[in-house]
Amino acid sequence: MTENSWNPQNPQRPQGESEPNPAPADQDQTVPLNTAYPGDQGRSAYGSFGAYQPQSAPNAPYEATAAPYSANAGYENQAQKRKPGFKTLTAVALLSALLGGGTGGAVVAASDFSPASSIASLSSGTTIVNNTDSVNAVTAAAAKATSSTVTISAVSTSESGSGSGVVLDDEGHILTNTHVVTLDGATASAEIEVQLSDGSVRTASVVGTDPTSDLAVIKLNDVSGLTLTPASLGDSGNLNVGDTAIAIGAPLGLENTVTTGIVSNLVRTIEVESSAVDEQQTDSSAQQDPFGSSPFQFEMPGQQSQSSTNSTISINVIQTDAAVNPGNSGGALVNADGEVIGINVAIASTDSGSSSSGNIGVGFAIPINYAKRVSQEIIENGSASHGLLGASVSTSPANNDQSEAFGDGALIQEVVSGAAADQAGLRNGDVVVAVDGRSISEATELTAAVREAAAGSKVSLTVNRNGSIQDVDVTLGDSRDAG
């Protein structure tokens, strides 16, 4: 083997959230506290999606793209934006371990500073390795995962936008965000095109959307002549804070872009505006934050100013500092092995007065274990199910109910007669402090945990009842039965 050759064999890796009356308890509700507790009010610090990139017109030139580099990090929507509420070891061994085979392609590399020279390189989609002697884990993971990541264009009669997606199978099913394919909830009939990592373009149709999780599945209308590479799905339940996190997608329409960072937090819950089309409010409160504008916000490019009458959704997410920008929504967050560990969905912004934002090192992705369940149910049934507790809840203030900034659980204010909570023996005044071992300090966290579970599934709630801690098993209802 020559010095600059790549050997697909020998797969080794280097080590390397005055109190109003509770809402009618016919569905899970989050209600505000007496005090202006920020965690119960739309949590504007986590208020909008961030990976959708809007554009001013479907066929506008690149210079005419409305979303600047400071725009929202997930979905790029091309209409007026709405602001939401809130060493190396040997390169050969490394690449072989992640790619599992294949051949290197010779290319001619040229720069402005030296004559063109022929070198050995490997290209996976458009992830190009020009120097196989300096390949690191990120390069190898990107080479493996980029071919499974696509760019999505959605166009309606009045607006258009682009986002990203992940190939699920060789039948052409692609996982993305609901806010990408509905243009932030503006339409249920957008025309969708998909560009694969190799440049091939196909039209696609929506198989189903799931606004509760902001996930959606689309399917290519014609897969003939295509070689699809289904993504390798990891296990988000095995992640550690500090693990390598690599975001792949099309920020600002720049397809096959790779950025890297770490897993910053694994127990984060965000509350964002729903992208359902003509949806009914089914999750949390959509009331205005009594504290006013948060120092952080999420923005979904293309959204108008978030209205207090719009419904919101609560989602448990992976937090990462890998750069996520407009257009990354629906794209892959992968680990150092090139396995998808999350679906990029939102970013935080410090500029609450602007309708555009960009990456500040606080991005969020939907855990792949949750996304896997939802996508499988959409493919099989056209929709996904979500749990329903059947109670109105608010955040229980910490520090003996004196804190105006921190919570120590989700206070059950009213239990619906005959619903899951009632059948399990939960009572008004109980404070839920954990769900299946995951700590709960705010009402939105309980909402997110219940919705993440499938309808009919059993969860274990740790409850503080008048100072006594006990575990209560609950068989959840179906959120679709909520009034």
Q: Which residues are catalytic?
A: 179, 214, 329
CB distance 258 to 247 below 8 Å: yes
Q: Write down the residue that tokens 């009572």 correspond to.
A: 427
| 8-state DSSP, 71 | S
Q: How far is CA 462 from CA 346, 436, 439, 457, in A?
A: 30, 8, 9, 16
- Burial readout 192-208 (b: 16 or more C-beta within 10 A, e: otherwise): bbbbbbeeeebebebbb
10 Å CB burial of residue 442 (0-12, 13-18, 19+) is buried
If DSSP codes are grouped into helix, strand and coil, which group holds residue 147? Answer: helix
Q: What separation, in Å, do the N-terminal and C-terminal C-alpha atoms of the chain show? A: 68
From 160, 145, 36, 48, select the one nearest 100 (Cα to Cα): 145
CA distance 262 to 259: 10
> Based on C-alpha coordinates, what's the Rg of the chain?
23
The total of other beta-carbon atoms located within 10 Å of residue 110's CB is: 10
